[in-house]
Amino acid sequence: MAEVAAEAGVARSTVYRYFPSRDDLIIGLFLVRIDAAFASVVAGLEHPDDAARSLPELVLGPLGYVEGNPLNEALFSTGSREMVVALELRSVPLLDAAYRQFGPLLERWQAEGQIYADVDLRDAMRWISLVSIMLLSPPWSEQPVGDKRAFLDRYFVRSLVAGSR
């Protein structure tokens, strides 16, 4: 926290006023980065009216924001991945940020009957996030995108999209 305060040119107490703990600071960093990345993923969907074609992109799209970005690579490195998963599992603000971008699509697809009516969309959003994190981890991180896409089509899409069996 002292390093963050020094880099920002503020007193350490100022950092603690906004971020009571290191985890809160990391969540704040995630929120800013996630919101921008997820908005780009949604804007870049080739078939936003087709849940079966777009759901894998909602999982795979954010992965492109990790590779090649030193900060994101550090946040998702092997040494910090457990922390990322722990924060993801207990962070309502992270889920809210993801849902803010993906939720309108999920809600529309469900209203149109593309996603099963009994699917809890916030749980589906949590699952999308967790599957993305899983695909960033070995052995999935070494797999070609085509294999990841086939996995998502075979299991993920079939579990959410009506008539996709």
* pTM listed for this prediction: 0.77
Mean of all residue pLDDT scores within the chain: 86
Average confidence (pLDDT) over 36-44 = 92
Q: Where are the domains of the chain?
A: 23-160
Please tell me the CATH code under which domain 23-160 is placed.
1.10.357
pLDDT for the residue 165? 60
Report how far apart, in Å, the C-alpha atoms of 91 and of each of 76, 86, 131 are. 16, 8, 16
pLDDT for the residue 76? 66
C-alpha 73: how far from chain center: 14
The tens digit of pLDDT for each residue in 102-159 reads 999 999 999 999 999 999 999 999 889 888 878 887 788 889 999 999 999 999 999 9
The tens digit of pLDDT for each residue in 47-96 reads 999 999 999 999 998 887 777 777 767 766 666 555 555 555 556 777 88
Q: Which run of H or of E encompasses 146?
A: helix 145-151
